[in-house]
């Protein structure tokens, strides 16, 4: 991976990215961070990267290869103009702000700016993230390559050519960890109702999801085959799946939920 890098905003996702970049060979001296929050600055400073409270404090001679935008989507309008000076040939802007379209960045930075929009998710914090990227027409092959490498430092990456698909991406993988966490909550609650102590119920639910996810990751079999492997005809698993796989049950709810999240993503993007 190649620097120098300018990271604008260093919350949980930004911090995870910095640690991933350092672990994958980018030198701390090649990373500059702008973060006004004291707690976030204090957490990132020990890593040896340069940290500033505002864009005006950056060395005028600094020329980033990539400007990574990791501030909250609703403050982008006020934060972004300070970085317009970097919208030149040889620099690509990589946004991880959910719901912000490429067009919204082009409006501020100019239509000739190389831009890549990325949708990561929170498992990036443990190196198990999933990021989908989409580039504008000004982003060259090398711009796409370096953007993909930067996000691959915290997990897997994939690309889409049609930006409209990013709403569905946001609904599935961007918001998806919350659905899994809720699944753990539901399993634990159902276990309590079935008579288990709350502590044991929480432990069983959590470790079952962790184990099943890891088995899915390591196995060459599809999730469908793995499910069938557990399901003995006439057994307990089959009895439960008849409820979960009913016509108006789990699949219908997930389809409805993903549609609602995608619709909201489109609304937020304007």
Same domain, yes or no: 248 and 261: yes
Cβ contact 95:69 at 8 Å: yes
Range of the domain at 236: 176-269
Same domain, yes or no: 212 and 87: no
- What's the average model confidence in pLDDT over 213-239? 97
Higher pLDDT, residue 139 or 12: 139
Same domain, yes or no: 27 and 123: yes
Same domain, yes or no: 153 and 242: no
- What's the average model confidence in pLDDT over 205-216? 98
- What's the average model confidence in pLDDT over 13-37? 93
d(CA 114, CA 136): 7
Residues 169-197: tens digit of each pLDDT: 999 999 999 999 999 999 999 999 999 99
At residue 39, the pLDDT reads 87
Same domain, yes or no: 102 and 164: yes
At residue 50, the pLDDT reads 92
Cβ contact 105:95 at 8 Å: yes
At residue 188, the pLDDT reads 98
Same domain, yes or no: 80 and 194: no
Domain end residue (candidates: 174, 195, 210): 174
Please determine, for residue 75, whether its predicted confidence score (pLDDT) is greater than 90.
no
At residue 97, the pLDDT reads 87
Domain count within the chain: 2
- What's the average model confidence in pLDDT over 110-139? 96
φ/ψ of residue 47, rounded to 5: -80, -10
Same domain, yes or no: 190 and 59: no
DSSP state of 70: -
Cβ contact 157:124 at 8 Å: no
């Amino acid at each position: 991976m190649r620097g120098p890098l300018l990271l604008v905003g260093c919350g949980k996702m930004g911090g995870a990215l910095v640690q991933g970049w350092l672990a994958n060979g980018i030198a701390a001296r090649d990373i500059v961070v702008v973060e006004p929050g004291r707690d976030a600055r204090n957490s990132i400073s020990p890593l040896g990267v340069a940290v500033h409270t505002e864009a005006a404090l950056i060395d005028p001679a600094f020329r980033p290869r990539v400007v990574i935008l990791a501030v909250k989507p609703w403050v982008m309008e006020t934060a972004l103009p300070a970085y317009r000076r970097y919208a030149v040939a040889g620099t690509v802007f990589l946004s991880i702000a959910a719901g912000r379209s490429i067009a919204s960045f082009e409006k501020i930075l100019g239509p000739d700016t190389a831009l890549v929009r990325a949708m990561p998710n929170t498992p990036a914090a443990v190196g198990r993230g999933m990021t989908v990227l989409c580039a504008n027409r000004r982003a060259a092959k090398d711009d796409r390559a370096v953007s993909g490498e930067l996000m691959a430092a915290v997990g897997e990456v994939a690309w889409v050519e049609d930006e409209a698909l990013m709403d569905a991406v946001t609904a599935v993988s961007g918001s998806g960890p919350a659905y899994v966490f809720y699944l753990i909550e539901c399993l634990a609650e159902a276990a309590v109702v079935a008579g288990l102590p709350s502590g044991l119920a929480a432990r069983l639910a959590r470790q079952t999801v962790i184990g099943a996810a890891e088995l899915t990751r390591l196995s060459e079999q599809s999730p469908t085959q793995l499910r069938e492997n557990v399901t003995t005809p006439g057994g307990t698993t089959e009895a439960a799946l008849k409820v979960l796989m009913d016509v108006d049950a789990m699949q219908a709810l997930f389809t409805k939920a993903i549609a609602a999240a995608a619709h909201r993503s489109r609304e937020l993007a304007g």
